[in-house]
């Protein structure tokens, strides 16, 4: 099977098969325009594309993949330093642009991705082990690293999700996610082009746009779902959908419950990383619970280890670093053998850096990042996510982020940053102490106007200015 099987083998002739930000084309029209790009770039090693939410981005990505050329999506909101680093690090040979004119921020030959250009050529399918994408990580611990994602890994991920979610050509997928991340690009764009079905990328993921789309399958991040849950009319419009899927960060329990009341849907949560693609997910035909991200996809293995690499029991309580092994893993970090070696064990296990629990039934719960979300205080191991959930249960709390900060006696203390209305720090500390074990209560609560987030809505705890 070719990577984009549905597009290349049975292209959808419906005029609205692929819709992005209000503009639509048929599958056969997309394929013809992408083939024209493939004719231009064939023989190159890597090409970059400014990954705006546009049909031209889809044409460019698909064209390069048809030609067997590795695609490097550049975030459209990247600053000069990040853009320069990505282009220098990946050594792209050309830049894909809508009109074929060079961009003022890249000294590279430009290749047009215009829908007005078409070709009937059909290049042979490249080797499955060839890199399809280089996706750059968020760079929270230095400059972004380029993760080499093979065609085989993408196919394994999408096929696993199609099985878990009962995803078929009858589905209309609706989302408004960035096209330079796994969620929006691999799942939200390449997914329907492999599995079949229509795509409606609504541009900005506003509740009204989701409500008006009439989809069967919806993708969103917690920020999107939170805003939809806050608009009951928009949420109720999703009752006719088949599946609502959330990822990229933990979905607050209050949002899960609110959507269940308004839409009659229990949201499907899933887990993955740039380096692993999606590895764990709740199933369309399986149980779902707020805060759990399901079970491993076909062929994927997971296990937990402590800080010394020793085994942690899968009892639903004990926390450990989540290790992943399987066909969806990336091929390594570009130009960073040191980082690649540090992220893996010799037997093929990848260190996610995330802290999780695994229940006896195999269901996973992600506690948070080992670097920021596992708090060691007075001999206790405390998951930041549990404290955040407790804070969010208070009616005056809209957002919460919990971290460990240095403490002379305890080693670390639980510190919370809260966006709220009419609440005090003392009130919140007492509230959590009544809900959880006393040692899990925040020792300090900072009331703030907003929490720093990235493009996918993830709270960036390293930017909280933590100091105690």
Whole-Å CA distances, 259 to 11, 231, 234, 239 = 35, 10, 11, 10
CATH architecture of structural domain 189-328+342-369: 3-Layer(aba) Sandwich (3.40)
Residue 169: name the closest of 193, 188, 202 by CA.
193
Give the model's pLDDT for residue 467: 43
Six-digit token string for 226: 């939170």
CATH 3.30.300.30 fits 374-463, yes or no: yes
Cα–Cα distance, 274 to 330 (Å, whole number): 8
Q: What DSSP line would sit under 133-146, residue for residue?
A: EEEE---TTSS--E
Q: 3-state SS of the chain: helix, strand, coil percent to 5?
A: 30, 30, 40
C-alpha–C-alpha distance, residues 247 and 275, integer Å: 15
In this structure, how many other beta carbons lie within 10 angstroms of the beta carbon of residue 287?
A: 12
The pair phi, psi for residue 449, each rounded to 5°, is -80, -35
Asked whether the beta carbons of 320 and 370 are under 8 A apart, the reply is no
Q: In which residue ranges of the chain is CATH 3.30.300.30 found?
A: 374-463
With both helix axes pointing from N to C terminus, report the angle between 27-41 and 55-67 in degrees, rounded to the nearest 10. Answer: 60
Residue 355, classed as helix, strand or coil, is strand
pLDDT for 466 = 47
Q: In which order are the strands placed within the sheet that holds 94-97?
A: 110-112, 94-97, 46-50, 70-74, 131-136, 146-150
Q: Which helix (H) or strand (E) holds 260?
A: helix 253-263
Q: Tell me where in the chain the CATH 3.40.50.12780 domain(s) lie.
A: 189-328+342-369
Planar angle of CA 246, 354, 259, nearest 5 degrees: 20
**Orientation of helix 222-229 relative to helix 253-263, angle to 10°:** 50
What pLDDT shows up at residue 122?
93
Rounded to whole angstroms, how far apart are CA atoms 211 and 207?
6
* Cα distances (Å, whole numbers) of residue 364 to 28, 106, 290, 316, 372: 40, 43, 11, 8, 19
Contact of 249 with 456, CB cutoff 8 Å: yes
pLDDT recorded at residue 54: 97
Per-run averaged pLDDT (10 residues), the chain, 468 residues: 94 96 97 98 97 97 98 89 90 95 90 97 95 84 85 98 97 96 96 98 96 97 92 98 92 92 97 96 94 95 93 93 97 93 89 94 88 74 81 91 84 91 94 85 93 76 63
Q: In 10 A of CB 394, how many CB atoms?
A: 17
Q: Is there a contact between 414 and 429 (Cβ–Cβ < 8 Å)? A: no
- So what's the pLDDT on residue 379? 66
β strands within 234-386, DSSP E? 243-246, 268-273, 277-281, 292-296, 301-305, 320-325, 350-358, 364-369, 374-377, 380-383
Q: Which H or E run contains 234?
A: helix 232-236
Structure-token pair, residue 165: 């979610």
* Nearest 10 degrees: Cα torsion 74, 79, 81, 84: 30
Handedness of CA 242, 197, 297, 281 (dihedral sign): negative
Q: Distances in Å between the alpha carbon of 404 and those of 165, 369, 415, 441?
A: 37, 12, 6, 12
CA nearest 179: which of 15, 22, 55, 362? 55
In angstroms, the CA 118 to CA 9 distance is 17
């Amino acid at each position: 099977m070719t990577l984009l099987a549905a597009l290349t083998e049975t292209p959808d002739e419906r005029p609205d098969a692929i819709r992005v930000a209000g503009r639509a084309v048929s599958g056969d029209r997309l394929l013809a325009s992408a083939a024209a790009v493939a004719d231009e770039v064939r023989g190159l090693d890597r090409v970059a594309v400014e990954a705006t939410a546009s049909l031209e981005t889809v044409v460019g990505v698909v064209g390069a993949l048809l030609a067997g050329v590795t695609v490097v999506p550049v975030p459209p909101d990247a600053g000069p330093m990040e853009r320069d680093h990505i282009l220098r690090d990946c050594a792209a040979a050309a830049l894909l642009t809508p009109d074929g004119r060079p961009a003022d921020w890249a000294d590279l030959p430009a290749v047009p991705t215009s829908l007005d250009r078409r070709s009937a050529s059909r290049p042979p399918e490249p080797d499955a082990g060839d890199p399809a994408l280089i996706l750059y990580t968020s760079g929270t611990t230095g400059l972004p690293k380029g993760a080499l994602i093979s065609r085989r890994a993408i196919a394994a991920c999408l096929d696993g999700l199609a099985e878990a979610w009962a995803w078929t050509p009858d589905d209309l997928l609706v989302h408004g996610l960035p096209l330079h991340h796994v969620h929006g690009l691999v799942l939200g764009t390449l997914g329907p082009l492999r599995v079949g079905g229509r795509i409606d990328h609504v541009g900005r993921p506003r509740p009204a746009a989701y409500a008006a789309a009439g989809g069967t399958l919806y993708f969103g991040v917690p920020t999107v779902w939170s805003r939809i849950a806050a608009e009951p009319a928009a949420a109720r419009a999703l009752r006719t959908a088949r599946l609502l899927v959330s990822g990229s960060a933990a979905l607050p329990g209050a949002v899960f419950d609110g959507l269940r009341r308004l839409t009659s849907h229990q949201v499907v949560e899933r887990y993955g990383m740039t380096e692993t693609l999606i590895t764990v997910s709740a199933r369309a035909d399986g149980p779902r619970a707020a805060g759990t991200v399901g079970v491993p996809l076909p062929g994927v293995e997971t296990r937990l280890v402590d800080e010394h690499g020793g085994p942690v029991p899968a009892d639903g309580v004990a926390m450990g670093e989540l290790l992943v092994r399987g066909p969806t893993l990336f091929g390594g970090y570009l130009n960073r053998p040191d980082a690649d070696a540090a992220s893996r064990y010799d037997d093929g296990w990848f260190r996610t850096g995330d802290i999780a629990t695994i229940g006896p039934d195999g269901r996973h719960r992600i506690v948070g990042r080992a670097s920021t979300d596992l708090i060691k205080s007075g001999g206790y191991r405390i998951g930041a996510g549990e404290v955040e959930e407790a804070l969010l249960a208070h009616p005056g709390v809209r957002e919460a982020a919990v971290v460990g900060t240095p403490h002379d006696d305890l080693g670390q203390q639980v510190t919370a940053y809260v966006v709220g209305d009419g609440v005090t720090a003392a009130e919140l500390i007492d509230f959590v102490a009544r809900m959880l074990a006393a040692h899990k209560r925040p020792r300090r609560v900072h009331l703030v106007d907003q929490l720093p987030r990235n493009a996918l809505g993830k709270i960036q705890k390293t930017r909280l200015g933590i100091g105690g």
